[in-house]
Amino acid sequence: MKERIDPNTIAKPLGPYCHVTKVTAKQLVFVAGQIPIDKDGNIVGLNSDAKTRHFQTIDLAAQVRQTMLNVKAALEAAGASLEDIVRLDTYVVAFAQNEYKTVGMKAKHEVLAGARASGATIFVSALMQPEVLVEISAIAAID
């Protein structure tokens, strides 16, 4: 059982998340940090120059969407769903902070489709691969 709590002694959440998630569960599912890689191992959201094959721009919304789809697939493989998420942590490369606040959060919540969880968004100097701007990890509770 999951109870989402937003105490009236704390300001309302700034986005579609909750301040507290109280959980009684039979199983917990921990999803490792997911990045925007498709099932074939290609990094999603890279727009490259056809002549040089060097990427020139990175589509943050596409990266966030793919990352969330990877989280969803991992949860489903464990018998859970997005509704079962009790903690969702998002790591974003700091230079993409403003873009994340506009298009990245929108893409994330499109995939979440109304599911709410406690969590954090952390802006970092870099992630493991330089073309990757976002990494998302999750914890889910299955009743």
Q: Which amino acid is present at 39? A: K
Per-residue pLDDT of the chain (143 residues; tens, 9 = 90+): 788 888 899 888 777 777 888 888 789 999 999 999 999 999 999 987 655 556 668 999 999 999 999 999 999 999 999 999 999 999 999 999 999 999 999 999 999 998 988 999 999 999 999 999 999 999 999 98
- End-to-end, the C-alpha distance of the chain in Å comes to 6
Q: Which amino acid is present at 8? A: N
For residue 109, give both structure tokens.
Answer: 């919540």
Pairwise CA distance, residues 138 & 30, whole Å: 6
Question: Is residue 82 classed as helix, strand or coil in its secondary structure?
Answer: helix
In this structure, which topology does domain 2-142 adopt according to CATH? 60s Ribosomal Protein L30; Chain: A; (3.30.1330)
Residue 69: name the closest of 97, 34, 102 by CA. 34
What's the pLDDT at 19? Answer: 86
